[in-house]
Amino acid sequence: MTPESLAEGIRRGERRALAKGITLIESSRPEDELLAARLLDGLSHTEMRGIRVGISGPPGAGKSTLIESLGMLAVGKGVPTAVLAIDPSSRRSGGSILGDKTRMPRLSAHPLAFIRPTATGGATGGVARRTRESMVLLEAAGFELILVETVGVGQSETEVHGMVDLFMLVLLPNAGDELQGIKRGIMELAELLVINKADGPFRHAAETTAAQVCSALPLLHHDVTGWMPRVLLTSAQEEQGIEAVYETIQAFRQRAMENGELKQRRLRQATPWMWERVHDGLRRRFLADPTIRRLVGELEPGVENGTLGAVAAAERLLQHFFGR
């Protein structure tokens, strides 16, 4: 199957073609690289039908449950919804802790939904290696709501913010004073802040947190002209406040479509995307070089037993690669 016919299948919304396409773009085999580029090129002029939402937040904030509730609401309205779920891989075991079937049981069974779990593999932080490319395929396949989950708090937020239309931060009700310090840089990125688990005994704490967040917000700048970040309370468990989250996402999309910001934002994201691919390509070609592989085989034992310094070994490899 050529990339061009795969692109056609994806545009027709065929699930098999979509899954095959994502597998192709995720492939690290050198022979797939050009095919993947051709596939993406064939899909790059897709109309902006969907909205790409990045969802981050600390562990335990209930991101998966919230994504499932939001997704169920969207598919209930007839909106095709895709989830790029990060499988938090345990570094030691090498496997994932919780499969996505168990994490989003209702949504994964719905015909209008598509869930793609991807192991981060420790490669680029809390965002899977080919998230940008996967979103292109999903949008071409007709998905109108694309939810990208990231794991952890830290680097992954800035990373996911750089590839989505709307960045949503999910917070715990008892966030307290951590909102004041280190998180500020991340809060600044969010168009939508959701205080989840705002139920039962945590309701009051959630309201306090929401008030703190709100009072911090007016000082922050935002990309999207005229959009003030919104703070919402939810209980994904009890399905409270999910409609408001959905409506806020749609209101944002409407506005960003009208004032051209959606298009501008995607254009601003293109250059970092280009660099990401360049850096990835450099690594892959280095590793694919047979003489480099031989030299690695010669040098690694010395690095492992301490007779050769890591920095000295790296210098030798680089000089060899560029020396020819």
CA angle 157, 158, 163 (to 5 degrees): 95
Residue 79 or 195 with smaller CB distance to its own copies:
195
Report which residue type is found at 270.
Answer: A
**Phi, psi (degrees; rounded to nearest 5) at 59:** -55, 140
Q: Which residues are CB-neighbours of 181 under 8 A, at least 6 positions away?
A: none
The H or E element containing residue 210 is helix 203-216
| Residues 216-220: contacts with CB under 8 Å, at least 24 apart | 216/179, 216/180, 216/184, 216/187, 217/187, 220/187, 220/188
Chain mean position to CA 3: 24
Q: What is the CA radius of gyration of the chain?
A: 22
- CA torsion angle 33 35 37 39 (round to 10): -150
Mapping DSSP to helix (H, G, I), strand (E, B) and coil, where does residue 142 land? coil
Q: Which of 14, 11, 79, 3 lies closest to 47 in space, CA to CA?
A: 11
Q: What's the token pair of residue 76?
A: 């209930």
| CA–CA gap between residue 253 and residue 174 (Å, rounded) | 30
| CA–CA gap between residue 320 and residue 64 (Å, rounded) | 47
β-bridge mates for residue 85, sequence order: 117
Least Cβ distance, residue 173 to its own copies (angstroms) = 10
Tell me the CB-side half-sphere exposure of residue 46, using CA atoms within 13 A. 27
